[in-house]
Amino acid sequence: MNIKKTAAILAMTALISTPVLAAQSGGFVDPNAPAAVAQKGGFSGPNDTVKTIKQAKDLHDDDWVTLRGHIEKRIGDEDYLFRDETGTMTVEIDHKRWNGQMIGPQDKVELQGKLDKDFNSLELDVKHVKKIAE
């Protein structure tokens, strides 16, 4: 096959794939934000025993943990304030992790990910977000 045909096939494939990728949007719905931003998502991770933020403080850096609570607000591009019955912590949720879900502060969520512990800070690098019924 010549180069022009190969380039044409690749271009067509990219154009056809774009709507499929766009259909996998989702993310945090901030009631104070002017407009929702389309985001991609999708990861299914391990199902660890659910912990609280207070319990997570006693775990080690890079430990996997599952937390349940509410995402209260966005505090950065991929950083959010998460709250459970024991306190608050920062969680980092990459745009691709939303898996097409729209989640607001009123929604209870289950977050699975790796702890990122430094000397004075604790953050969860989220690998899976799941909206759960209360």
Per-residue pLDDT of 39-72, as tens digits, reads 555 545 554 578 999 999 999 999 999 999 999 9
Answer for the pair 45, 130: CB distance below 8 angstroms, yes or no. no
Q: Pull the structure tokens for residue 87.
A: 């306190």
Question: For position 29, what pLDDT does the model report?
Answer: 78
The fourth-level CATH superfamily of domain 25-132 is: Bacterial OB-fold (2.40.50.200)
Higher-confidence position of 4 and 41: 4
pTM: 0.66
Instruction: Indicate the length of the chain as a whole number.
Output: 134
Closest residue by Cα to residue 26 from 95, 76, 74: 95
DSSP at 120: S
Q: Which phi and psi (to 5°) does residue 90 adopt?
A: -85, 135
Domain boundaries, the chain: 25-132
Residue that has been written with the tokens 């719905």 in this structure: 29
